[in-house]
Structure 1
């Protein structure tokens, strides 16, 4: 193993699961071409996994062998690097809230950044650009409710909102009501009817 690859391995030792390693962060160690070549070698040897262009992660080593880090950990780190807001897709939120029994087959996240795919071993994680209102309340329970309602659509949202009204805390209901200004008209109207006036 050449010196640059060894140095990169040493510098990334002990990173938490899902922490990303960006080629641009290593340019103080050598030229871009040298860094890219060293990272490529480390991927071939199984020390790193290429997630997307210029972004890598270390596989997690367990007693059963190496595995990809969890999708949520990697997505969280990528979002931090890019300065994006990222949250689970509405289908996952609806499942978590008990509004559907369908379990999403793929890992899909909504992002304020551009749509793209990340590769974690054999798993492909999809980041889909979402309207600002779907990410307005972040990863809080109230934000999950908004994304679930968006996924369910206008026909099923009222019924779901009525079911959730009794499960959510007054603070969470207030957060949902306070977001009406950024919501699409159909959802703002339903929130007013069920949460505020109901």
Structure 2
């Protein structure tokens, strides 16, 4: 009978390097307390890296760059998936993802339908803010970012250049998803997005 350590490392080795794992990835092997101890042990001996509370990875090893850990966005999405929660990028992070700013924020904020919390990832912070169902119900990868970016910019502050970038991005959104998401936006944002239908 293989030990929990062996079974966990075996499963991790079967998944590609860089894949994020949480305690819940191994609940069929043992209980949460035992799994946490095993993951901590494997981290101490260098088999794994702990990237955030409860999130572990066998990092990619690059000849030139050395150890490459998953990005903050990947970690945030894995955490939302683990918690079976919806999460929508907001604020300056939504602006960055759309190409409306070139500055990646140090602290990224997601609206979520799960509980509010902050997670430290190295020098960066992921903040999950509990929001209304309406704020996390958008289904289009691009249109949900556009709604949050426009909210951040604010009514009457949107420049023609920003709208040009937004229209270019929305041209790649699936029509059904765009139609669905426009209905969730405040009226002033709807008016700006409708020409893209």
1-side partners of 2:91 and 2:72: how far apart? Answer: 17
1:147 Cα deviation (Å)? Answer: 0.9
For 2:6, the equivalent position in structure 1 comes to 6
Cα distance per residue 1:59-118 (max 9 Å; x no partner):
222223323212233333322222222233232332344544554233433333222234
> How far apart are the structure 2 equivalents of 1:31 and 1:170?
44
1:163 shift after superposition = 4.3
Matching residue of 1:81:
82
After TM superposition, the structure 1 = structure 2 runs for residues 1-198 of structure 1, keeping only pairs within 5 Å, are 3-16=3-16, 18-63=18-63, 64-100=65-101, 102-157=103-158, 163=164, 167=168, 168-169=170-171, 179=181, 181-183=183-185, 187-192=186-191, 195=194
Give the direction of change, closer, same or farther, for the CA distance of 1:123–1:15 in structure 2 (3 Å limit): farther
- From the superposition, tell whether residues 96 and 180 of structure 1 become closer, same or farther in structure 2 (CA, over 3 Å): closer
Structure 1, 84-93 or 168-177: larger mean CA deviation: 168-177
Q: Is the 8 A contact 1:112 1:135 kept in 2?
A: yes
- Aligned-pair RMSD on alpha carbons? 3.6
Quote the Cα distance in structure 1 between the aligned partners of 2:33 and 2:97. 45
Contact 1:158/1:190 (<8 A) preserved: no
**Partners of 1:18 and 1:139 in 2: how far apart?**
26
Distance of 1:99 and 1:33 partners within structure 2: 44
* CA pair 8-195 structure 1, distance change in 2 beyond 3 A: closer
Asked whether the 8 Å contact 1:49–1:59 carries over to 2, the reply is yes
Deviations 1:29-74 (A, max 9, x none): 3444432222111122222233454432332222233232122333
Query: Counterparts of 1:55 and 1:100 in 2: how far apart (Å)?
Result: 29
TM-score, normalised by the number of residues in structure 2: 0.71
Give unpaired runs (5+ residues) of structure 2.
Answer: none
- Counterpart-to-counterpart distance in 1, 2:179 and 2:31: 52
The structure-2 alpha-carbon separation of the partners of 1:46 and 1:87, relative to structure 1 and needing over 3 Å to count, comes to farther
Larger Rg: 1
TM-score by length of 1: 0.71
What secondary structure does 2:157 align onto?
Answer: helix
Unaligned ranges ≥5, structure 1? none
When structure 1 is superposed on structure 2, of 167-176 and 146-155 the one drifting more is: 167-176
